[in-house]
Structure 1
Amino acid sequence: MPLKEGGFTLECEATCWGPDAKIDFLGENGKNLSADDATKGYPRGCFSVQRRVTLQEAASRVTCRVQRAHTNETRETQVQLPAVPDPKISVMPLKEGGFTLECEATCWGPDAKIDFLDENGKNLSADDPTKDFSRGCFTVQRRVTLQEAASRVTCRVQRAHTNETRETQVQLPVEEPTSCSLTALVAVVVTVLVTAFVTVLVAAFVLIYRSDLVDSLWTKCCKTEQISTLTGVSSGESAHDIRVDNAKNETIEKLQTEVAALKSERNQDKETICKLNKDIAKPASEPELDEMNQQDDESSHFLSPPKSTSLHKRLPRTSSDSIP
C-alpha cells in the first residue's frame, strides 16, 4: 500500500500456521527489514499470524519469509515494488524572454527535496516547493525562472532521511545575443518607416483637400461667368430688340402718315366725283357744257384715265377706279 507521505507499507499473513509462526521481511540484499510486531488470531477459523513493514527507502523487491519454530518449516513470498520514478522537468518559454522550468518528483514522499543546478553545478534560486497527494502518492513540485542564458539545467531530487538522490537534466535552446548596434539600427529603421508612412498619409490628405477646394472654386467661378455671360447676352438681345422695335414703330408711323395722306386724297377725289355727278344731272347750256368738259379734261388729266369721246362712257370707269 502506497503511503501519503511516500514509500510503501507491506503486510504478510501466515494463515493456519499456528501460534509459533515467525514472519520476517528481507530486502534485496537479503537483510532483515525492521517491521512492526506480529498480530495473532483466528480470523478464518484457524490460527493465523500477520506482520507489517513500512518502506521509506527505494526497493524494487521485498521477500516475506514464514517459519515454524518447532519444525523449521519455511516458506517465502516475493513482491516486486514499483520503482520510484526519476524527476520530470517541464520547460515553458516566457513572452518577455527566458524560461520557466518545473521539476516534479512523483511518489517521493513529503520530505523530498528539489534543487536546480546550472551547467556549472551552482544552485539556482527557485520558488517554494508545492506538495500534492491527488495521484495516490505524495508528489513534490518546484519551479525556477531563468532570465539569463543557460544551456543546461539539472533537477536534483533527494530524500532527506535516506540520502537517496535522482537527477534529470534538460538542454535549453541558446538564444543568440543581440548587439546594441543592431537593436539601434532596427529602431531607426522602424522609426523612419513609421515617419514616412505618416508623411505619405498627411500629403495624400492635403492633396485631396486642395483638389476638392480647387474644384469647388472652379465650379463657383464657372457658374459666375456663365451667369455674367447670360446676363450680357440677355442685355444685348434686349437692346437689339428695342432698336428693332423702334425702327418698326418709325416705319409704322411713316406708313400710317402716308395712308392718312392717301385717304385724304381719296376723300378729295370722292368729293370731286360727287360734284361731277351732280353737274351731270343738271341740264347745262353749251357754254357751261364746254366749261364742264374743260374741267373734266383737267380732272381726267389728274386721275390719268384713258381718253374717251363720250362723257357717259368715262364716268362709270372713273367711278369703278375710285378707292372704296
Structure 2
Amino acid sequence: MRFSDELKRGNISLKLSRVRISDEGRYRCFIPDVGDSSVQLIPGAVSSPFIVRIERSSSGHVVLQCESTGWYPEPEVFWLDGEGNLLSAGPTETVRGPDDLYTVSSRVTVEKRHSNSFTCRVQQNHINQTRETEIKVSADCFEFTSCSAHVAVLVVFVLLFIVAAVCVVWKWRQIQTKERKKQQEDQTEREQLISERTEDLRKEMVKLKEELKEKDETLKKNKEEQKDFEQEVYSKLTEQSEELQKQREKLRQQQTDMETNITVIEKEMQSVEKMAEGERFHRMKEITLTAKTQLNKRKQEDENLNLQTQTILNKTTELLKKITDRKKEEAQGKSQ
C-alpha cells in the first residue's frame, strides 16, 4: 500500500497487506544524496495441532501421535504431561509442501500416570507463536483390554477435520493466487511510483545545486563591484582633495595680492595729499579706476572659485548618494 497523499511531505512508506511466504526478505528504502535503510521481513503462519493416532504397545504403554499443518517458519514440537513436565519423544518428522508451509508430526510413548493428561505443543520462537492441544487417555488403554472404541471415535473426528482442512486449504490457495496477482500489480505500481519520486528528488537536487551556483556567482560579482566602487570612491576623493588644495593656494595668493594692493593704494593716497588741488583730483580718479579694475578682477576670480567649489560639492553629493544606494542594496540582499 502506498501513501500517495504523503509523498509531498517526504513519506514514502511501504505497507504490505495479506502477506505471503514469498514476501519474505530484506526491504530497502533508498533516497539519493540522503541515505538508505533496510528491514528484514519474516512472515509467519500457524495452525493448531491435533492427535491423529492412539496405539497401545505390547508392553502396556500408549503411543500418541500429534500432527500440525500450515506452519512457517519450521516449528518445534514438545510433549508435556499433566504436571507440565517435558516428555522424551521421538524425532520430529517435517514435510514442506508446495505452498512452502511445513507439516510436523511427533510420536511419544507414555505410561499410566495420575492424571493421564498429555499436551502436544507446537511453537515457533522467531515469530513468537505457540499452539497446543491436550488429550486425556482413558485408563482402559493402559490395560490389556482394547481401546479401539476410543480410537474409532478419534479417527472419525480426525477424518472430518482433514476434509475440512482440505476445503480450507483449497479455498485459501485460490485466494492466495488472486492475492499474488494483485500484489504483483501493486509491486509494479510501487516500483514505478518510487522511481518517479526518486527522479523528482534528483531534479530538485539539481535545481538546488544550480541555485547555489547562481548565488555564489552573484556574491562573487557583488564583491568585484564593491571593490570597483571602493576604488572609484578613493579616486574621486583623491581628485577632490587635490582640487581643494589648489583652491586653497589660490585663496592664499588672492589674499596676498589684496594686501599688496591695499598697501600700494594707501601709499598713493598719502602721496596725493602733497599734490596741488588739480593734480590731486586727477590722481584720485586714477587711483579709483585702478581700485575698481582690481575689484572687478577679484569678483571674476571669486565667481570662478565659487563655480569650482560648487562643482566639487556636486561631485561629493553624487558620491554620497552612490554610497547610500549601495548600503540599501546590501541591506536588501541580507534580508532576502
State if a TM-score over 0.5 links the two structures.
Answer: no
Write 1 or 2 for the structure with the bigger share of strand.
1
TM-score, normalised by the number of residues in structure 2: 0.40
TM-score, normalised by the number of residues in structure 1: 0.41
Max Rg structure: 1
